[in-house]
Amino acid sequence: MSTPARITHFIDGKPWHGPAGRTGPVHNPATGEQTGTVDLAPAEVVSAAVRSARTAWREWSGLSLARRSQVLFAFRELLNARRHEVAALVTAEHGKVLSDALGEVTRGLEVAEFACGIPHLLKGGYTENAATGVDVHSVRQSLGVVAVISPFNFPAMVPMWFVPLALACGNAVVLKPSEKDPSAALALAALWKEAGLPDGVLQVVNGDKEAVDTLLTHEDVRAVSFVGSTPVARYVYETATAHGKRVQALGGAKNHMLVLPDADLDLAADAAVNAGFGSAGERCMAVSALVAVEPVADDLVARIAARMAKLRVGDGTRGCDMGPLVTRQHRDKVASYLDAGVAAGAALVVDGRDTAVDADGEGFFLGPTLFDRVEPHMSLYTDEIFGPVLSVLRVRSYDEGLALVNANPYGNGTAIFTNDGGAARRFQNEVEVGMVGVNVPIPVPVSHYSFGGWKQSLFGDTHAHGTEGVHFFTRGKVVTSRWADPSHGGLNLGFPQND
């Protein structure tokens, strides 16, 4: 077993070489081996990174849009060329299979491509002669230093939801990735530097609650983009807004897939398996609750179970379908839901603890698990399990299924499977969820639309990327100007009226 490598911060354009202080372990989840030791930044290190970013922001925000876009285009080319390297880092620390890791890098790349159009996205409005001799125009300007705090499950894509747009809008960014799999974020920061981003404009500080709390309360941090579990998202939102910051805090999820009796059941079964067990269920858009409108449940459960038997579980570098969970602790927590489900009376159709695993060592594996006859009061349903556990709930009608989805406190993603266009149209109108799929199980919006849930899946008003992202990372200013003959001056204390 080799000595774990030190993983440190990336500050002012280079790896940080100060004293390590508190550290945390980073594992290869497929083997269970500790491969890295990540520095957990104390408040002083985070504060220094923010102050330095503030200095770098002044110059960066003053650069022409042409110069800023050149950096974005260069980054896009570099990441496209090195996407396999970044994906390999994701697999090594998160555990998801390589093809899936490449998919997440590619979806992140889409946001960089969207950000390349920033000159167009930042165009303001202009009104000539709004009043006699008076013109009005609007601009959007950068905020300053913004913080991005990301979760373990998309170590490349989630930072990419925010960083390219925040930079394109002229901000400096302090990124705090998950301490469980920090290397992909560091690799991205190195690519930004290679693309020509000036030192200090993107800082990566590794850390835990201490680093996050410093960012949420620092006077020079203007906005916070957070993604993680709902309790932490709520805490981040409340703390950072209390300190005067603009916040978008994306939280957890319980995503439902509603299958109507007229649906193509093979399509629905494929979708349930793909969306339930891809990335070992560690996706905020994973389907964890399949709501079957009777009489299709028996048939659907049989089709899903047959497909699950074909899945290969193991080390993500070996061409398997599904990898391990991120840590041993998380694996054990997810496994505890299997006992709880059985004790509560749900029917355990496929037990992931029995799955054969293709990996060396003591990886954090739990195979795909299927429960039938799950009831809304069971912890299988009430909790976000965030693992490869799919629960089937049986309902008698579309209305009963819709009511179930809408009563759930989360509202991230949902999908309906049907061949009835009218039912699908009703669902997309009536469901209280931010992202809806029609015969599409994981409806992650493309980068020119915005990503975000409703209810306890998002605190704040603004979703990620797309034009909402541009608005989040800028503030508007309206200029009213008159270039009139000086003889038109004169005193008038009345409120300005347009004529």
Binding region for ligand NAD (CB under 6 A): 149-154, 158, 176, 178-179, 208-209, 212, 227-229, 232, 235, 250-253, 284, 384, 386, 412, 453, 457
Q: For residue 451, give the DSSP letter.
A: B
Closest approach, Cβ 227 to ligand NAD, in A, equals: 5
The owner of tokens 């202080």 is: 21
**Cα gap 229→223, rounded to integer Å:** 19
Closest approach, Cβ 189 to ligand NAD, in A, equals: 15
**Cα gap 221→494, rounded to integer Å:** 39
Closest approach, Cβ 334 to ligand NAD, in A, equals: 12
Closest approach, Cβ 338 to ligand NAD, in A, equals: 19
Closest CA to 392 of 499, 291, 267: 291
- Nearer to ligand NAD (CB atom), residue 188 or residue 195: 188
Closest approach, Cβ 228 to ligand NAD, in A, equals: 3
Helix segments in 169-208, DSSP class H: 183-194
**Helix-then-strand count for the chain, H and E:** 15, 25
**Cα gap 387→370, rounded to integer Å:** 11
Distances (CA, A) of 357 to 119, 324, 360, 365: 50, 9, 9, 8
Tokens representing 195 are: 């693309």
- Nearer to ligand NAD (CB atom), residue 285 or residue 304: 285
Q: What is the maximum alpha-carbon separation in the chain?
A: 89
Question: Which residues are 33's β-sheet partners?
Answer: 28
Residue nearest to ligand NAD (CB): 228
**Cα gap 474→151, rounded to integer Å:** 24
Helix segments in 116-264, DSSP class H: 118-121, 157-168, 183-194, 209-217, 230-242
Closest approach, Cβ 342 to ligand NAD, in A, equals: 24
- Segments of 89-161 assigned E as strands: 126-131, 134-142, 145-149
- Nearer to ligand NAD (CB atom), residue 68 or residue 176: 176
- Nearer to ligand NAD (CB atom), residue 208 or residue 400: 208
What is the helix (H) or strand (E) element at residue 58, kind and residue range?
A: helix 43-62
Closest approach, Cβ 350 to ligand NAD, in A, equals: 23
- Nearer to ligand NAD (CB atom), residue 218 or residue 303: 218
Report the amino acid identity of residue 104: E
* Catalytic-residue membership of 284: yes
- Nearer to ligand NAD (CB atom), residue 12 or residue 208: 208
- Nearer to ligand NAD (CB atom), residue 90 or residue 250: 250
Closest approach, Cβ 434 to ligand NAD, in A, equals: 9
**Cα gap 99→233, rounded to integer Å:** 29
Closest approach, Cβ 254 to ligand NAD, in A, equals: 9
**Cα gap 420→424, rounded to integer Å:** 6
- Cis bond before residue 368 (omega within 30° of 0): no
Question: Which residues are 138's β-sheet partners?
Answer: 478
- Provide φ and ψ at 355, rounded to 5°: -70, 135
8 A C-beta contact, residue 450 and residue 114 = no
Question: Which residues are 202's β-sheet partners?
Answer: 173
Selecting among 116, 169, 284, 320, the annotated active-site residue is 284
- Nearer to ligand NAD (CB atom), residue 145 or residue 260: 145
**Torsion of the alpha carbons at 278, 106, 155 and 285, rounded to the nearest 10:** -40
The owner of tokens 């500050």 is: 11
- Nearer to ligand NAD (CB atom), residue 151 or residue 368: 151
Closest CA to 28 of 229, 314, 336, 356: 314
- Nearer to ligand NAD (CB atom), residue 329 or residue 481: 329
Closest approach, Cβ 283 to ligand NAD, in A, equals: 7
The SS3 of residue 475 is strand
**143 CA to centre of own chain:** 21
- Catalytic residue annotation: 284
